[in-house]
Structure 1
Amino acid sequence: MSELRGDTTGRVSRAPSWVPVGAWGFGLVAVGLGAAAMVAVQADPLSQGLGVASAAVGLGALGWGATSLHLSRTPTPRTAVAGLFVGMGVAVALLATAPGRASILAVVLLLALGVAVACGIVRGTRHPSPRSSLWGLVAAAALVTVVVVPALGVCQGAALLDADGTVLPVGTHHGH
């Protein structure tokens, strides 16, 4: 039973049911930003390194969300919040790289998701939420989808943007 405890006081830390789904949204946007930074037209080693870090944090958020739903509790809440803040810092740093290939909209949405998920985790450690409901998960998934899909679309657009503001073609088909 001690492995189910979320803290040393004996209470189980359980964030609201929307928090793992929000973590998935955060993870998807972080992976999208990371992938765009790694393959951007003018990617330099710094932006590629930040891209790898963003993708790693995003994959961690995806795994944490799945683990949280599987266990019906909030695993490693402090580590999760720290990971969210690292991911937010990396996203902001991507805006400052020389190519500047991070989408401002995607970064703002990532920051909003990160703050919301961190607040949900902290609230769950102080005031454990009742068990997850199916309707809460469906509503959270719908809301996160509405936020994440546009963010992923602008990540690709930012990666294809040339220094003069023109969008480069994905495939040129030269020689065919």
Structure 2
Amino acid sequence: MTTVRESTTGRVSRAPSWVPVAAWGFGLVAVGLGAAAIVAVQADPLSRVLGALSAAVGLGALLWGATSLSLNRTPTPRAAIGTLFVGMGFAVALLATAPGRASILAVALLLALGVTVACGIVQGTRHPSPRSSLWGLVGAATLVTIVVVPALGVCQGAALLDADGTVLPVLTHDGH
């Protein structure tokens, strides 16, 4: 007895409307972590390289989310999932660098958003969403804003910590 598999070549992968917005949240946190690692006072070359790579993955996630919404489909689902996991690896590696300028809260949020986006992409590949929902976008944007804005604040706070746990002053350039 032989079975015939259904061809997936004609089927369009369309993730739910909240997935691109969650990808934007992932991208914003990845860029924030990367920027904090690059400009931290005690940053070593490894943390700066990891920071640049994290920022690049974050910018890619922002671009992917915009492309997904504009095309009304999920572009390159496998590459997107792979890039998400690479970005999560960079974030975890930032925790292990010598200065340790990554915020644990921001990395935990990045991991949660990455897994959420990956699950949404897989869901859209297996069961394409019929159309985008305005309420889904509004709800996702609200939720992502509520969790991402504090994470971006702690990214900056982690970059300004000195080795003894005190916060370094932000120098102003008044009169220059």
Q: TM-score, normalised by structure 2?
A: 0.93
* Counterpart secondary structure, 1:147: helix
Alignment of 1:16-95 (within 5 A): 16-95=16-95
Q: Please tell me whether residue 125 in structure 1 is matched to residue 125 in structure 2.
A: yes
Residue aligning to 2:99: 99
Output the CA distance in 2 between the equivalents of 1:133 and 1:174: 48
Q: How far is the alpha carbon of 1:133 from its aligned partner? A: 1.1
Q: Which runs of 4+ in 1 moved over 3 A?
A: 172-176
The one-character-per-residue Cα deviations of 1:36-88 (angstroms, maximum 9, x if unpaired) are 00000100000000000000000000000000000000000000000000000
**Structure 1 stretches of 5 or more lacking a match?**
1-6
Q: How far is the alpha carbon of 1:111 from its aligned partner? A: 0.3
Residue aligning to 1:146: 146
Output the CA distance in 1 between the equivalents of 2:34 and 2:173: 27
**Structure 2 stretches of 5 or more lacking a match?**
1-6
Residue aligning to 2:134: 134
Residue aligning to 2:4: none
Residue aligning to 2:169: 169
Residue aligning to 1:3: none
Counterpart code for 2:147: V
Supply the RMSD in Å over aligned alpha carbons. 1.5
* Counterpart secondary structure, 2:128: coil
* Counterpart secondary structure, 2:131: coil
Output the CA distance in 1 between the equivalents of 2:108 and 2:40: 19
* Counterpart secondary structure, 1:169: coil
Q: How far is the alpha carbon of 1:9 from its aligned partner? A: 2.4
Q: Which has the larger radius of gyration?
A: 2
Residue aligning to 1:113: 113
Q: How far is the alpha carbon of 1:8 from its aligned partner? A: 4.8
Distance verdict in 2 for CA 1:79–1:164, change over 3 Å: same
Output the CA distance in 1 between the equivalents of 2:97 and 2:71: 39
Q: How far is the alpha carbon of 1:130 from its aligned partner? A: 1.4
